[in-house]
A and B are shown apart, each in its own frame.
Chain A
Amino acid sequence: MNRKVPFMLSLLLIIVLGLVPLMSSAQTVPTPDDDTLVIAINGEPGSMDPAQVGGSTGGSNFRIMMHTFATLYELGQASGAIDPYLAHSFTVSEDGTEWTFHMHEGLTCDDGEALTAEDAAYSFNRMADPANGFTGNSAGFVVASTGFVEARADSELDVTIVARKPQNRAMRLGLYSEVLVHCKDSYEAMSFEEAARNVVGSGPYSLAEWVPGEYMSLKAVEGFGLRPQGFENLVWRFIPEPSTAVAEVITGNVDIYKEFPASQAEAIRNSGMAEARFFPGTTRTYIGFNLNPDAPFRVENPDDVGAQAIMRTDVRVALQYAIDTDAICENLLLTTCERATSLVNPSNADHPTLEPYPYDPAKAEELLDAAGYPRGDDGVRFSLEMPARRLTGAMAPEVVLATAQMLTDIGVQTEAIFQESGDWVAALITHDLGPLYFGRTGGSEWSAQYDMADIPGHEAGCGEAETNYTNWDNDFWCTGWDTLPSLTGDPEAERELEIAMLEEFYNDPPWIMLFAGPRTEAVSNRINYESRADYFITGYSATLKDDM
């Protein structure tokens, strides 16, 4: 045995030495340098197929694909702007159903294939074709929200997109700006499996390396003139744990990290490596009242006083006064935020004159007494459960618990129940979550109707419409929504109706309106970068500071 050990060690040494000439240069985890910008995101892309954007199958791919694929128009960096991109202009048919985009000349995809109107039409038709089975933002949200019928190439540079009916211009343009354009020949030659892993892009960056579970590295496309390319390389690192991502920022290994936990702002600032930014976001945070009469909690327990009480408008109005959003924002989110008056972001075209419900617990109690729900001997008027998820930022457990406590303080005993994300989403989509639920939903700064689209009209089922998670069945709202398309030629009348609908939402609230965002973003001190209020991170616009 003892004689074998030196022999084995010698053999191992010989093998190792023998391998030395074969050694290639070692792999490393990419770090920032003069040519490389590193962005951390919590999720990771599943598929990189441009027709499969966002949703369960996409994860974080939308943020990345905004760099590898271009769109006809683009949701701009500046608040509310929608800027020309692959198209320089557009015209709308008289009836408002056909939008023709006029594209730039000389565009190409990564593989050198010419990018023309035929490719743009193909991109829309491919993602919308049910036979392809795409889901997520484009195939689901854009198709349904615009009433997409088909896209066709009218000439080499003119593509027309046909919808069932007219729609608010900003809304439609914004939605079309979420469809990623890709080259027909390249994608027709690929199977779905191949398209999920290979990128033949049309944007300012091309895919250089994808290490699943770790990072994706993009390289600037030479000669792409439609957008800046501040860095030669963009690296997207997939870091699921927020504290770990913050540690990477502090140690200078990550340049941009959106949505860090507010409690870690001081650590970021003290590191001297990055700025900790707070700003109003477009994601709306709210407490939903589930009004679905067939929800399991209502059917299984018909005598549940709380579940019945929130069916009444006067009770829902009373509860608006119970939440001190200023205290939540200042103490838990470490910033100030503006309370919303409706489901439209305050930074968007919300109601021009309505004042947000103030924090006034005495009034809340008075209204509940008047509604016939006095405090019992134990101080409780009725009890409610409030399912929530364990997320960060405005959805952090401490925020959920604070709102539950504030409701409990006025005698509405509220129990926050933290669920696994999948269970929570499943119940939300089927309108079974509640009776209260703590939620958030994406919003915009460029169209009130985009924010209002969560609750569509009678044509889409009104209360039963899929995204109307509270099952709010308000005839004025739903009729109004169905009327809006007919008013696209008369912007004043259209706006007047929008305002009336928002007032209805305020007076018969299906949500306790909280606030938009707020968002946080850590940005390295070595770069110039303008934060966006929405979900996106436009890494291409970041540049190295002159003194770096």
Chain B
Amino acid sequence: MHKYIIRRLLLTVVVVFGVTLLTFLSIHMAGDPTIFYISERASKEERLAARQRLGFDRPLHIQYLDFVVNLARGDTGTSLQHRVPAFDVVMERMPATLELTIGGFLLSTIVAFPIGVLAATRRGTMTDGTLMLGAMLGQSMPSFWLGLMFIMFFAVTLRWMPVSGHVPFIKPLLEGDAGLALANLPEAIRYLLMPMVAVSVYSISRNSRLIRSAVLEVLRQDYVVTARAKGLNERAVMMRHAIRNALIPIVTVLALQFAFLLNGVIVTETVFSWPGVGRLVFDAVSKRDVPLVMTAVVLLSFLFVGANLIADLMYGFLDPRIRLE
């Protein structure tokens, strides 16, 4: 197990290396970032001087190697827009993104599970048809549109929910102020609710369809038939035999879903003025803030790979026959 984890962690380095390389190349392929950090009245000489000062005059491979070497030292550079360390800028937004992603992940898992299982056990019935139609609709609705509709209905028309904004929960916790986190909790949930639902509707729809398929697959297995033949009631058959065995493909998908949610928050963060990394990166890309984009990509890659690693480790708990070597 330990060897496996170490191997995966080493692979993480390779993945992060690959992701940063691709990001670095694509951001530079869009043109010279220098022009965003000089006056539009700058002369050609001033432009060249700024290019030199910002280090963009060096060959691309040197710039990239420099980044990697500095990254290994824990230095991700200074944000060109914010003029403070890029790592600090990303980290002060990370808690808000995690709140939204974890919230969306939990919601999509908790809601998708019963829907998927119910649809599988009632296969071919009106319930199954209705649930799957709902899932299809959920997958068809873009999250930004859904977000705006939520705002129009729940915030503007009914006035039940706040339009936009954020009350922190994870950030005070990380800063060691549990009292403040707890005091913030009710408002934090109120502000989180609409963006969380908007970001998770697609995942709920997709997951419920996958869970339905996985459970249906297991229900066809001999051991389920045997369990029923033994006279076990349906609840016991489902809980002890069907769902547990269906969990492995589901966990794999859920881990990927977490990463998918991380990507999806960019739009949702914009619609709900959520102060997360997605919005930050979107803005940084449009202003070619290379250090900030690279730092965010590195941190998000670690999260992505971490989620997959957790999923792999869970296989062993779910099915003792699987040994991670």
Contact = CB atoms under 8 A, between A and B. Distances in A.
Interface in B22-69: 30-32, 35-43, 46, 49-50, 53
A211 B162 CA distance: 18
Contacts of A25: 183
A144 B285 CA distance: 28
Contacts of A429: 35, 40
Interface in A403-441: 420-423, 425-427, 429-430
B159 interface: yes
B177 A243 contact: no
Contact of A57 (B80, B156, B177, B286): B80
Interface in A1-59: 16, 19-29, 44, 46-47, 49, 52, 55-57, 59
B270 A240 contact: yes
Interface in B273-325: 273-276, 279-280, 283, 285-289
Contacts of B182: 16, 19-20, 22-23
Nearest to B185: A26
B84 interface: yes
Contact of B275 (A22, A47, A193, A213): A213
A147 to B, nearest CB: 11
Interface in B144-202: 148, 151-152, 155-156, 159, 162-168, 177-180, 182-184, 186-187, 191
B163 A47 contact: no
A341 B26 CA distance: 42
Contacts of B287: 56, 422
A467 B179 contact: no
Contact of B42 (A29, A140, A420): A140
Contact of A241 (B31, B38, B152, B270): B270
B39 A135 contact: yes
A244 B273 contact: yes
Interface residues of A, number: 63
Contact of A430 (B35, B46, B84, B93): B35
B42 A425 contact: no
Interface stretch (A85-93, A246-254, A284-292, A329-337): A246-254
Interface residues of B, number: 66
Contacts of B186: 26
B53 to A, nearest CB: 6
A47 B286 contact: no
Given A46-B79, A196-B84, A140 B36 contact: no
Nearest to B273: A239
B77 interface: no
Given A24-B179, A244-B271, A251-B155, A212 B92 contact: yes
Given A29-B166, A56-B37, A247-B163, A193 B286 contact: no
A141 interface: yes
A425 B270 contact: no
Interface string B239-277: 000000000000000000000000000000011111110
B187 A28 contact: yes
Contact of A28 (B30, B92, B163, B167): B167
B163 A133 contact: no
A431 B106 CA distance: 50
B81 interface: yes
B89 interface: yes
Contacts of A212: 89, 92-93, 275
Contacts of A251: 155-156, 159, 163
Contacts of A21: 179
Interface string A117-148: 00000000000001001011001110111000
A244 B272 contact: yes
B43 A214 contact: no
B211 interface: no
Contacts of A56: 36-37, 80-81, 287-289
B152 A140 contact: no
B159 A466 contact: no
A130 B178 CA distance: 46
B80 A144 contact: no
Nearest to A424: B286
B39 A47 contact: no
A140 B39 contact: yes
B183 A23 contact: yes
B38 A135 contact: yes
B263 to A, nearest CB: 18
Contacts of B82: 46-47, 57, 196
A285 to B, nearest CB: 18
A192 interface: yes
A36 to B, nearest CB: 15
Nearest to A15: B178
A130 B82 CA distance: 18
Given A26-B186, A26-B187, A141-B40, A46 B81 contact: yes
A237 interface: yes
A69 interface: no
Contact of A243 (B42, B151, B183, B288): B151
A197 interface: yes
Contact of A193 (B42, B83, B155): B83
Contacts of A240: 270, 273, 279
Contacts of B36: 56, 422, 425-426
B279 A144 contact: no
B31 A19 contact: no
A203 B165 CA distance: 28
B179 A422 contact: no
Interface in A236-292: 237-241, 243-244, 247-248, 250-251, 253
B117 interface: no
B166 A214 contact: yes
Contact of A196 (B40, B49, B83, B289): B83
Interface in A448-481: 461, 466-467
Contacts of A250: 156
A186 to B, nearest CB: 17
B156 A211 contact: no
B180 A24 contact: yes
B214 interface: no
Nearest to A54: B39
Interface string B105-139: 00000000000000000000000000000000000
B96 interface: yes
A211 B180 contact: no
Contacts of B274: 213
A430 B37 CA distance: 14
B51 to A, nearest CB: 12
A475 B88 CA distance: 51
Name the residue among B32, B40, B276 with the largest chain A CB count within 10 angstroms: B40
B163 A422 contact: no
A265 B84 CA distance: 39
Contact of B177 (A24, A139, A211): A24
A133 B96 CA distance: 32
19 contacts: A20-B182, A26-B183, A26-B186, A29-B162, A46-B79, A46-B81, A55-B39, A56-B288, A135-B38, A140-B38, A192-B83, A213-B274, A214-B275, A244-B163, A248-B164, A422-B36, A422-B286, A422-B288, A466-B43
Given A238-B273, A251-B159, 9 more contacts: A24-B177, A26-B183, A27-B167, A27-B187, A130-B46, A141-B41, A196-B83, A240-B273, A244-B164
The 8 closest A-B pairs by CB, nearest first: A140-B39, A213-B275, A22-B179, A29-B165, A46-B81, A144-B41, A196-B83, A56-B36
Interface of A: 16, 19-29, 44, 46-47, 49, 52, 55-57, 59, 130, 133, 135-136, 139-141, 143-145, 192-193, 196-197, 211-214, 237-241, 243-244, 247-248, 250-251, 253, 420-423, 425-427, 429-430, 461, 466-467
